[in-house]
Amino acid sequence: MPSLTITTNVPKDEFPKDFLAGMTEILAKSLGKPEKYICVVVHPGTWMSFAGTEEACANCKLESIGKLSQPENIEHTKAIMSYLSEKLRITKDRMYIAFRDSSKADMGYNGTTFAA
């Protein structure tokens, strides 16, 4: 159930066609979870600033059941930011990632929750 939401001011037409597939693969590897459960949502072309300028920037939120802790989040940050920097030319000092470790009871899927 990992879900990554990326909000960025980079326009949609500057994203490579394989961006979502690549980000899904990166997350599956970093989190050690199957790609079939990973959701990536991108809000491109958002009117936003970072450090008072409108240069390329991003604000991300990663939610998962487990696999989020201080040492793991460092590795996730490296993987996600490296990919965004490479594919979208956003410098790593112009991004944030917020992490949320959800309980199985708090995530619905396939008509029930992961706790059921």
Whether 96 is in a domain gets the answer yes
Residue 47's domain comprises 3-111
Whether 116 is in a domain gets the answer no
Q: Is the pTM of this model over 0.85?
A: yes
pLDDT, tens digit, 9 for 90 and up, residues 4-61: 999 999 999 999 999 999 999 999 999 999 999 999 999 999 999 999 999 999 999 9
Whether 91 is in a domain gets the answer yes
Higher pLDDT, 50 or 1: 50
Whether 20 is in a domain gets the answer yes
Quote the pLDDT of residue 24. Answer: 98
Whether 99 is in a domain gets the answer yes
Query: Of the listed 2, 11, 16, 34, which one is catalytic?
Result: 2
Quote the pLDDT of residue 48. Answer: 98
Quote the pLDDT of residue 19. Answer: 98
Whether 87 is in a domain gets the answer yes
Active site residue 16: no
In sequence order, what DSSP letters do the residues of 47-115 get, joined into one string? ---BTTB-SS-EEEEEEESS--SHHHHHHHHHHHHHHHHHHH---GGGEEEEEEE--GGG-EETTEETT
Domain count, the chain: 1
Distance CA 57, CA 47 (A): 10
Whether 56 is in a domain gets the answer yes
Whether 73 is in a domain gets the answer yes
pLDDT, tens digit, 9 for 90 and up, residues 69-115: 999 999 999 999 999 999 999 999 999 999 999 999 999 999 999 99
Q: What is the CATH number of the domain that holds 19?
A: 3.30.429.10
| Mean pLDDT of the residues in the chain | 97
Quote the pLDDT of residue 94. Answer: 98
